Every structure is written in structure tokens, then in C-alpha cells.
Chain A
Amino acid sequence: MALEWFMILLGWISVALFVIGSAYKMCKVATLPLNVRWEVYPVPHEEGERRHYGGSYMEEVDWAKKPRAGSRVAEFVEMGTEILLLPRVRKHNPYGIWLLSMAMHWGLYLGVALLGLFVIENLVAFPALGILTNVLGLVACALGTMGAFGLAVKRATDRNLNLYTAPIDYFNLLLIAAIFVLGLASWAMTGSFAPHQAYIGSVLTFKPTALPLLVSLTFLLFELFMIYMPFSKLIHYFAKYFTYHSQLWDDAFKTKGSPTDKRVTEQLAYTPAWSAPHVVPGKSWLEQAETPFIESEKK
């Protein structure tokens, strides 16, 4: 009984730590100062043809006085396509990782969908869901295993990749592969995902349920993975939001008195601690900029 209770508690704790850890990491990035503009074209929210050839509003005379058209939806379409199909990897990566990467990512996406199905199955009784669960679970585990294990092998055998691969990268990939392998093994042992669904039910209802060992191991590893994920590179999916929106696509110009202008004014009052001779000690960014040449040569 102690093990069953431990698994229920770990289920909740892992979700809580995943949410708190992810929120903490996101807040840490989001609360950093507003960066200068550093966009790269094409920018998907540009209007019409410009979106495709990489044009911008700066192609027009007097753009500051003209209203801007464009589509935020296009940004989400571009981001969604990148997340689901990894087109940049497909087009530009010459080391044959696209299919493996797609397999691993889709293994994870379908794995998350499978967890969702387990929750639904515990809330509504609908026999057809059982078939869907089996198909989804098997496809997720097969893709995840092939993808993660394949990527680990690829990294180990391709010189272009292994020079840059640290042991932790293999650890991450093999950890993911192990979760999917255990998922497959536990399914093979019981012939269905019913025990897995039962476990999710026990977590949701706080009613301990006896589970086959392999099912417990599958969830144990998965829940440890959830706790670990926010503190690893594996959380790059949220970093992508910031790199795309705060950097590559952030092309909005600043108007006087706008919130951005106020934020910049605040940041110009920061005092940089750099030590080079041309940096005047103790002066704010604005004062540094206003410092006459002679004074910045004195040090």
C-alpha cells in the first residue's frame, strides 16, 4: 500500500514541480530587461508578399507615419509548423537527423495526448477510447523509442555531432528512450494500457491501486523526467517562444511616451559595471552616452 500511495503522491508532486519549475524558468527570462531590436527577416507577421520574400515595413518611405498591417496569426502558424514539422531542420540540417528528431518529438506529443486520453477515460466511459488509447500508446512508444535511441546513436557515430555532445545529452536521450521502452514493455506484459489508465485514475481520485511492476516503473521514470525537465535543456520549447517573439520577430519600432519608451528610459538609468578605459565608472547608460569624448579618455 505504501508504494501505491507513493506513486499517487509522486504523480501530483511531479506535475506541481513541472509547473512551478517551468513557470520559474519562464519568469526568469521574461523579467530580464527589454533587449534592443535584433530581428531577422523573414518576419512572418509582415503583410502579403513581404512575408514570403522577407520584406518589411521599412521598405516604404515615411513608414513611421503609416498604419501597419500584418497578421499575428501568421506568427502562430509559423511557430506551430516549426514545432510540429521542424522544417528548418529538414531544409538545412545535412546530418540526417530530421526523421529521427520528428519521431522523438512526435513520440512525446502523442505521449502527452495519451495522458490526456487516460484522464478522459477516467471521467467518461466510452469503449471506443480503449482502441484509440492502444493505437496512440503504441505509436507514441514506438516513435519515441526509435527517435530518442536513434538520435543517441547518431550523435555517437557522426563526427559533426559527437564533437559537441556532452554525456548529459546522451543521458537525456536515453532517459526519454527508456521511458518509451518501459511503456512498450509494460504494454506487452499486460496486453493493454488499462493498468496505465487505472494508475492515472488512482492519482486523480486518491484511491491507491495495485499496479504491475513495469507500469509503476514506467510512471516512476516519467515523473522523475517531468521534475527534471524544467531544469534541463529539454525545455527549449518554451525558450523558442522568447527567441522567436523577443528576438527574431520583434520588429516594432518605438514611439515617444509608449510603454516601451518608458521601459527604455528606466533601463537607461541602469549603471553598467564594465571596466574598460572608455567606460566612465559610476555613470548610468544615459550618462555614458552623453559623456564627452575627453572625459571618456581620462581614465
Chain B
Amino acid sequence: MNEPKIIRLNDIARAGDEPLVALTRDDLMEIPQLADTPELQLPQARWLNRYDFSLDGFSDFEMPKPQTKEEEDRLVNGFLSGLQKLFDPQSNWTFAKIFRLSMDYCVRCQTCSEACHTYIGSGRQEIYRPTYRSEALRRIYQRYFTPSGKLLGSFVGADVELNAKTVWRLLELSYRCNLCRRCAQVCPVGVDNALIAREIRKLFSQEMGIAPGELLKKGTRQQLKAGSSTGMNSAAFKNLVEFIEDDILAKTGKKTKMPIDQKGADILLIHNAGEFMAWLENPAAFAILFDAAGISWTLSSEAQGYDGVNYGAWFDDIELARIALRQVSIAKELGVKKIVVGECGHAHKALCVLADRVLAGDLSLSEIPRESCFPLLWDIVKSGAVKFDPNKNDFPVTLHDSCNVVRLMGIVAPQREIVKAICKQPLREMTPHGVWNYCCGGGSGFAIMNSLNFDQWRKNVSGRMKVKQVLDAFSDVLDPGINKYVIAACSNCKGALRDAIGHYGLWDKYHITYGGLVDLMVNAMVDLPQPYIDLNKES
């Protein structure tokens, strides 16, 4: 492994297109079980003149570089204007208090560094240290907005130059953090560098309309327009549900109804719509289980009601509020007792935690509770309403925890109790796990960001630690003759793991596959004639 290059804070303002670091495979953290990890693919030559790769040679932003001084000034002025608004109690009431605390009281002890999977996975490259982007932003803020910074300049650290390159690199850097908040967990002062990354994203989105296309234009905007970030409209959703019902019948011999718009049902179940596109077996498994357990539930065919995602959680409070308001209002109109969120980590956090203080009165959590699916699934197991045979799940299983579900919501035990009850072999816990887990590398939108060469960075850098953890968890059963299953009970995590398994050849080399928790539950159901999960092929 190569020694990381020294990058200073002021290098963020360096002129020219040369990246601050040019990563190669030899710079990255070693994965002992993989002698040869893939080399990183550089940007295509035809992109170089048009797009900016000056942070680290990777980007998701198909946004032309500024060509004139006026365009550069517009970028810088927009940034300064947005930065000021982050501190404004009216414009940013949602986070102003905790953002200010994190900006003002970091003691630069660097305790957070070793908590970050991206920093470690990158071979400890300086620019990925949780404090690098925060400190650069802090110094710009001091220089332009505080009396001490204006008066004392570099003595108080107000010395980072602000130009179009600084602005661009900060934008890129805000998308080099998965917002997993492992760094906040270990900070002795309670400073939250992930929050600062999110606030930088918000500044760009809410002030300048700049965000990765997958998150804004094809994400929240599309969800508000068409009903789902996948582009699926209500009619297509209904067709898909019919298709799933047929598929369940063909696969299990069970005639299962997936209720839609059932007024007065107990539960409105909201899935990540990505499940309907990429992993149909997951919403199908929920239907099979709920049907067998006799639960009163419904799906919604209303726009935004059949897609639990809320990408605003990662970069934009206004979009977050718009989507959450729609989702909860739909539940209210249906007259359900509560919303249950399917296997999607960020939808969990957005609806159950973030939206709590964004919706008032009749839409409060006390009136329309929003709950995770995992306690309910554990209740189904405990109740005995459905019979499970652990012998049907007789293969090595590890559990990847979604950061949003564990660290950010404290839902840790139900998943483990379920695995204990439905699997023959003991759960192989990753190290660390639970609230101390590492992100899959796809968190905060990275799993769906595939423009330009961003996927290369995700697979090789942010997802690297998870690959190592998975291989470590299965270290004594790596023989490809043994099929192994990684539980990833979150759509984004599944997407990231799917890509990682393909990228590192984990199926070909070790027969490691992945899937949801509910899929595994259905696989163990006694009255199902054949396996629900086909472990003999790559998922």
C-alpha cells in the first residue's frame, strides 16, 4: 500500500484540473482475501475538457465546467450566499442550531478519522478525512463572515482561499461522505462532520439547484411529478402488483392478494419503489408473510404513496418536507392506524425520525405513527401465526446493518432475533456490527449515483470496507462449494452489495450472494413447497 500524499487545507483552492489525489489500486486499503482487486478506471478522455474531475479524478456531476470569469463568479457568489443562509434561523431552522455547534466547537483532535470507512478504505487519503471538508468550510466561513476571521485572518485559521475550484471541490467532497455518522458517534464534543457534509449538499441544492441528477432531477423532482423516483406512475404500479401476485402464485402455489388503497386497513405498507423494479421478490415476500399472519394491511396507488424513498433526507430539506407531507397525508386519507416502512433504511429515517418535526398537528407521529417493519416481522415470528423451519435456511448467513436503521434509529435486536429463529446456523456477525457497523458504501444516494465514473469511486473506495467485513465474516467458509447469504435489509444497501459482489467477483470466487431479511423468512416458511431463495445462482 502506498503512503498517502500530504494534502493541505489550502490545496482545495489549487488552480488547474489536476486532481488533488490520483488514486490507484495500490493506494487503497488491502483486502487480504482478494489478492487482486480491480484497478480504478480513470475518466474517459472525452469528458476531461467538459467536466471537472479536479478533486480526485471521479465525479457524478454532468455539469459543464465554468468557461468564463462571470460563470466562476456566479458559482462563488452563489456559494457564499448559500453559506450565509445555512446560519439563518428562518432559512435553515431545521438544522441551524446543530450546524452552528458543529462549525464552532470542533477542537480538531481528529478522533473521528479512524471511525470513517471511506478514510480507512482509501488508504487514509487526507481529503477523505471527516474533518477535511468541514475544516475547509469552517475556514471559509471565518474568513468571510466572522469578525475574528476578517480581523485576524490566518492567525485564527481563516486562510482558505475561495475560488471556483474551491467551490467545486467542496461540492464533490460533500458527496464523498455516506452520512453514516459513525464519526459523530465517537466525537468527544459531539461535533457532526456528516451533518456538515449534508449541509454543504443542501447549500448547493437549495441555493443553486445543484445536486446529482439521480437525487434531484431524476430523484425528488421525478417522485413529486410522476409519483416515484423510478418514474413509475400509478397505473404502472397497479400493473406491477398484479404481475407480482401472479408470480407469487407461480412460485408458491399460493393465491395472495396484495391489497391496494384499502380504506381503514390497519397498516399502510410503504416500500422503496426500487424494490418493485429490481427485487420484486421482496415486496412479494412481505405480501406472503402478511397474508399468512392475517395482518390487515394495504399498499397505496397514490402518487408518492407507493414509493417510500425520500432522497431529500440526503441533501434538501424542502424536498424532504414535500415528500414526507404527501406520504403521511395519504395514510391519513386512507384512515390507516399507522405506516410501516419496508426494507429501506433511508425511508425509515426520513419518515420515522426526520419528518417527526417537519409535520405538525394531525400529521404528528402520535396521530399517524410511522414504524419500522422489523419489530412487526419479529412479532409475526413470536406470535407463532406463521410456522418457520430453520432447517430450510441451513447455510452461512451474515447480517449487514443499514446505518439508518441501527445507528440512526436504534433498531438492532429484532433483526437478530428473527435470524436466530429462522436460520439453522448461528448468525455470523460482522466486526463491528449493530450501531457500530460500517456503511455499505452506497449510503446517502451513492448506490444510485452512476453518472460519469462515480460508480468506480463507490465500488473501490466507499464500499471497500464492507467487502472486507463480508469476507471476514465468512472467513472459515469461503469454499465456493458453500453458498453464503448476506442479509441486506435495505434497498440502497442491496444495490451497493449487488455492485460490490459483481465488481470484486464474490459470487464467482466464493459463492456469496445477498438478499432481504423478509425473503429469508419466507424461505423458511413450513408450508412453502419449494425454496423461495435460489442460492445456486448469483442474485
Contact = CB atoms under 8 A, between A and B. Distances in A.
Interface of A: 29, 32-43, 46, 50, 53-65, 82, 86, 88-89, 91-95, 97, 101, 159-161, 163-169, 171, 233, 235-236, 239-240, 242-244, 246-248, 251, 253-257, 260-261, 264-265, 267-268, 270-279, 285, 288-291, 293, 296-297
25 contacts: A33-B89, A34-B97, A35-B357, A36-B358, A40-B407, A41-B406, A41-B410, A59-B412, A62-B338, A62-B371, A63-B371, A164-B108, A166-B157, A167-B156, A171-B155, A233-B106, A235-B105, A239-B104, A240-B105, A240-B189, A248-B190, A254-B364, A270-B93, A278-B319, A297-B225
A240 B191 CA distance: 8
Contacts of A57: 410
B321 A289 contact: yes
Contact of B409 (A41, A168, A239): A41
Given A256-B367, A261-B361, A278 B157 contact: no
B181 A40 contact: yes
Contact of A46 (B110, B319, B357, B410): B410
Interface string B203-217: 001111100000010
Given A54-B435, A58-B411, A239-B189, A160 B110 contact: yes
A40 B89 CA distance: 23
Interface string B396-439: 00000000001111111110000000000000000000111000
A261 B408 contact: no
A166 B155 contact: yes
Given A37-B356, A53-B434, A163 B126 contact: yes
Given A35-B98, A53-B435, A253 B412 contact: no
Q: What are the 4 A-B residue pairs with the smallest beta carbon separation, nearest first?
A: A56-B410, A243-B190, A166-B157, A54-B435
Given A58-B352, A256-B364, A272 B90 contact: yes
Contact of B89 (A32, A86, A88, A167): A32
Interface of B: 6, 8-9, 78, 81-82, 85, 88-98, 100-102, 104-115, 126, 131, 135, 152, 154-157, 159, 181, 184-192, 195, 205-209, 216, 221, 224-225, 317-319, 321-322, 324-325, 338, 352-354, 356-358, 360-362, 364-367, 369, 371-372, 374-376, 379, 406-414, 434-436
B339 to A, nearest CB: 11
Given A29-B97, A37-B354, A64-B366, A243 B191 contact: yes
Contact of A39 (B111, B113, B324, B408): B408
A291 B322 contact: yes
Contacts of A277: 209
A291 B101 CA distance: 32
Nearest to B182: A40
A264 B358 CA distance: 7
Nearest to B142: A166
A251 B408 CA distance: 10
Given A93-B110, A254-B356, A38 B195 contact: yes
Nearest to B190: A243
A236 to B, nearest CB: 4
Nearest to B78: A275
A283 to B, nearest CB: 10
Nearest to A46: B410
A247 B318 contact: no
B91 A274 contact: yes
Contact of B365 (A33, A61, A254, A278): A254
A62 to B, nearest CB: 7
A248 B93 contact: no
A38 B98 contact: yes
Contacts, number: 295
A60 B412 CA distance: 11
Main secondary structure on B side of the interface with A:
helix
B369 A64 contact: yes
A95 B206 CA distance: 38
B375 A42 contact: no
A284 to B, nearest CB: 10
Contacts of A244: 190
A216 B82 CA distance: 49
A288 B322 contact: yes
A61 B371 contact: yes
Contact of B189 (A38, A40, A243): A243
Given A58-B409, A89-B188, A248-B184, A166 B154 contact: yes
B219 to A, nearest CB: 12
B189 A236 contact: yes
A93 to B, nearest CB: 4
B107 A233 contact: yes
B107 A243 contact: no
Nearest to A167: B155
Contact of B188 (A53, A88, A253, A285): A88
B91 A272 contact: yes
A53 B364 CA distance: 28
A54 B225 contact: no
A58 B365 contact: no
Contacts of B111: 88-89, 92-93
A1 to B, nearest CB: 36
B410 A55 contact: yes
A54 B156 CA distance: 38
Given A29-B100, A243-B191, A276 B209 contact: yes
Contacts of B155: 166-168, 171
B189 to A, nearest CB: 5
A36 B91 CA distance: 14
B325 A59 contact: no
Interface centre among B96, B115, B324, B361 (most CB of A within 10 A): B361
A42 B408 CA distance: 9
A174 to B, nearest CB: 13
Nearest to B217: A278
A248 to B, nearest CB: 5
Given A88-B188, A274-B207, A288-B321, A59 B97 contact: no
A254 B366 contact: yes
A247 B105 CA distance: 14
A181 to B, nearest CB: 22
Given A247-B190, A275-B208, 19 more contacts: A34-B93, A34-B357, A41-B407, A42-B410, A58-B410, A63-B371, A63-B375, A88-B188, A166-B157, A168-B152, A243-B192, A244-B190, A247-B98, A254-B360, A260-B357, A264-B357, A264-B358, A279-B318, A290-B325
